Amino acid sequence: MKNENTLDLNKPPRDTVHDSPGVLVFPPALLVGTLLLGLLLGISWPWSLFPASAPVFWIRAAACLLAVSGAWLMIWGRTTMVRAGTNVPPHKPTLAIVTAGPFRYTRNPLYLGGTLVYLGLAMVLRSVWLLWLFAPMVLALRWGIIHREERYLEAKFGEVYLAYKSRVRRWL
């Protein structure tokens, strides 16, 4: 029988519980790490996405447009979060549910933007390796980061987050 002065060793004291989603990896590190792995594989075993006869100008123009759009979306999302007074890094507590700016269209503008930048770079670099690594990267992003963030936000903000989640798609 426990009394109120007994310390439960299976449960950390309240003041040491960290207010964060507990993501498995820092999101930019996932994107940059996957990109570096793909580049390393490309150097070791070159594998071009497009044949040499492909219309490179148009492919690169589309790829640059994709990458610039992704970077712009990331900047817009980050700026919106800062203006709303919440923390951007996922290891810090979320202070508010942001529904303005790009968050009206996607719940994850920074992650969507990062994936667009990644795809744009894969096309510019004409790397099959980067495209092969894209799916595992997105799965790690989904299950190791986004899923944990959504659970955290549901627990922290309850109905406010659930209502937002029902109105706005995860990606687009």
Task: Indicate if the pLDDT at residue 108 is higher than 50.
Answer: yes
Domain assignment of residue 154, yes or no: yes
Does residue 95 sit within a domain? yes
13 pLDDT exceeds 50?
A: no
State pLDDT tens for residues 94-103: 999 999 999 9
Determine, yes or no, domain membership for 120.
Answer: yes
Domain count, the chain: 1
Contacts of 63 (CB under 8 A, 6+ apart): 119, 120, 121, 122, 123, 124
Pick from 109, 82, 128, 131: nearest CA to 27: 109
The better pLDDT of the pair 105, 50 is held by 105
Torsion-angle region of residue 50: left (phi > 0), alpha (psi -120 to 50) or beta?
beta
- Which domain, by its residues, includes 138? 55-167
Q: What is the pLDDT of residue 8?
A: 40
91 within domain boundaries: yes
| pLDDT the model gives residue 19 | 87
Judge whether 66 lies within some domain: yes
| pTM, full prediction | 0.85
74 found inside a domain: yes
Residue 139 falls within a domain, yes or no?
A: yes
Specify if 50 maps to a domain.
Answer: no
Which of 50-59, 75-84, 89-98, 106-115 is predicted least confidently?
50-59
Q: How far apart are CA 80 and CA 24, in angstroms?
A: 24
* 102-126: average pLDDT: 96
At 48 the pLDDT is 83
